[in-house]
Amino acid sequence: MKILAENKKAFFDFEILEKFTAGLSLLGQEVKSLKNFGANLRGTYVVLRGGEFFWVGAKIPPWQPKNCPQWYKEVRDRKLLLTKSEIKYLIGKSREKGLVFVPLRLYLKGRWIKLEFAIAKRKKKKEKKEALKRKAIEREIQRELKEYRF
């Protein structure tokens, strides 16, 4: 499993409740471009439209800019490939107040490109500060333990 892109900021900004994996409906040159250059997941999101889920806001640069078709759009909505049971479950979750779908990771599984996304709840500023303090304390404890091991 080769990771093409990761959204580390999502773990800081959101409380992750549940993770899902979906395939992507891509063009051939988009696949080549993702394998070579990767993508930026920050600012992208997953949205429900007409009973289907789409990955919105992702910018995938052309594989060969000088040999790119005129109709190619870097930023477009890309369909997520999910099972019917997953779609029904996610539609139910999308109706709950305060929950959003956040892309976490884009990776290769065999020859297929997969998008891992999560059902998440946005953290408040106070929760973010507490998480930073908790992390700093844990780091300090680990540093102290490391000194006493020798």
Phi-psi region of 51 (alpha: psi -120 to 50; beta: other; left: phi over 0): left
Domain segments of the chain as ranges: 2-123
73-77 LR contacts (CB < 8 Å, sep 24+): 77/47, 77/49
CATH class for the region spanning 2-123: mainly beta
Residues 6+ apart with CB under 8 A from 75: 57, 58, 59
What's the confidence (pLDDT) of residue 150? 63
One digit per residue, the tens of pLDDT, for the chain of length 150 reads: 889 999 988 888 899 999 999 999 988 888 888 888 878 888 899 999 999 999 999 888 888 877 778 887 888 899 999 999 999 999 998 888 889 999 999 999 998 999 999 999 988 888 889 888 999 999 999 998 888 876
What's the confidence (pLDDT) of residue 66? 77
Considering the entire predicted model, what is its pTM?
0.80
